[in-house]
């Protein structure tokens, strides 16, 4: 496996790969790899000939009061892990390489960022779409894969690729979880032991909400309150948001229609650590007995 640190090197590499008729798969990450990242590699492997993983902690997607500085950077162990799952190249440029000069351009998807995480992280998704566009331009993948753990991100990127006619296929992977259900995340290591114990309530609360919905509850307020109480009882967890939204537009639902789907997404802070999770639920159709 080889490390590629500059855009010029990457251009040379991908030109050679493409000329030889091989398909390139891209797995974009910010490093601090865990099993979720490695399963993205597993998922894309059968569809491509060469796998490039990018590891880049992208400053554009962090707000001024967010955790850019303390985000874990573990390149040496990431390289070892990536090698075990058959990554061929790691693209790991410095910030000065990716954003040389006085960068003035952003790729902005309209509307979709104005919901869920975008509300508490203004500019975050513009940073994501800008860096993903750059990665696609630099690495020219035939396929790129993203995790459903960051469902809003995956939806925004799919829309961007479609709207801009980018020549890349987007795959997604369902959320990879710890044995107790907590969604794997590079930020989980920041949790205290007590908070780690409580954090399992995020996924449990989503399943609790699912249970409410499949057994007939249709009152959005009661469902949100149910999730909130489930998560915050007995700890100092702070709810950032709980959203029941349309799976395509991400707009808040005003009602739960039988037979449609709802995306329940949430973000919760344990101390300084903000975790997200989501679940898509198909709303059952009830036979109305007259
Ligand atoms: P990150 O390094 O957090 O920026 O994530 C890189 C990619 O891995 C993104 O597409 C994430 O959605 C995906 N990812 C992170 N955690 C998980 C997980 N637990 N399950 C599935 N995909 C994940």
CB of 277 within 6 A of ligand 1: the answer is no
**Which among 152, 116, 156, 126 is positioned nearest to 239, based on CA atoms?**
116
Any catalytic annotation for residue 37?
A: yes
Per-residue pLDDT at 286 exceeds 90? no
Domains of the chain, start order = 2-173 (3.40.50.620), 186-282 (3.30.1300.10)
CB of 146 within 6 A of ligand 1: the answer is yes
| 8 A C-beta contact, residue 25 and residue 143 | yes
Model confidence over 17-66: pLDDT tens digits?
Answer: 999 999 999 999 999 999 999 999 999 999 999 999 999 999 999 999 99
Per-residue pLDDT at 102 exceeds 70? yes
Model confidence over 179-200: pLDDT tens digits?
Answer: 999 999 999 999 999 999 999 9
* Ligand 1 center to 186 CA (angstroms): 9
- Mean of pLDDT values over 110-135: 98
Residue closest via CA to ligand 1's atom 14 equals 147
* Ligand 1 center to 276 CA (angstroms): 11
The pTM of this model reads 0.97
CB of 127 within 6 A of ligand 1: the answer is no
* Ligand 1 center to 147 CA (angstroms): 5
Strand partners, 238: 269
CA max distance for the chain: 70
Structure tokens at 120: 């508490």
């Amino acid at each position: 496996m080889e490390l590629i640190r500059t855009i010029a090197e990457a251009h040379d590499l991908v030109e050679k790969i493409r000329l030889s008729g091989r398909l390139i798969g891209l797995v974009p990450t910010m490093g601090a790899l865990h099993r979720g990242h490695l399963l993205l590699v597993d998922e894309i492997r059968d569809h491509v000939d060469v796998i490039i993983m990018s590891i880049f902690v992208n400053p554009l997607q962090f707000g001024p009061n967010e955790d850019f500085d303390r985000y874990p950077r573990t390149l040496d162990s990431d390289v070892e892990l990536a090698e075990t799952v058959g990554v061929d190249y790691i693209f790991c440029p410095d910030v000065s390489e990716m954003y040389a000069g006085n960068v003035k351009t952003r790729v902005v998807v309209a509307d979709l960022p104005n919901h869920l995480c975008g509300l508490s992280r203004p500019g975050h998704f513009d940073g994501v779409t800008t860096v993903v566009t750059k990665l696609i331009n630099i690495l020219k993948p035939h396929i790129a894969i993203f995790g459903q753990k960051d469902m809003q991100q995956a939806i925004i990127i799919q829309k961007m690729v479609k709207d801009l006619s980018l020549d890349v296929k987007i795959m997604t992977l369902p959320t990879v979880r710890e044995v107790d259900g907590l969604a794997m995340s590079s930020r989980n290591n920041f949790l205290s032991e007590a908070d780690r114990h409580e954090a399992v309530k995020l996924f449990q609360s989503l399943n609790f909400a699912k249970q409410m919905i499949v057994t007939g509850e249709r009152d959005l307020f009661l469902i949100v309150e149910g999730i909130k109480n489930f998560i915050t009882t007995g700890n100092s967890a702070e709810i950032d948001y709980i959203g029941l939204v349309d799976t395509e537009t991400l707009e808040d639902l005003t009602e739960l229609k039988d037979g449609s789907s709802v995306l329940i997404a949430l973000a919760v802070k344990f101390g300084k650590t903000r975790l997200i999770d989501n679940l898509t639920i198909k709303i059952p159709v009830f036979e109305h007995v007259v």
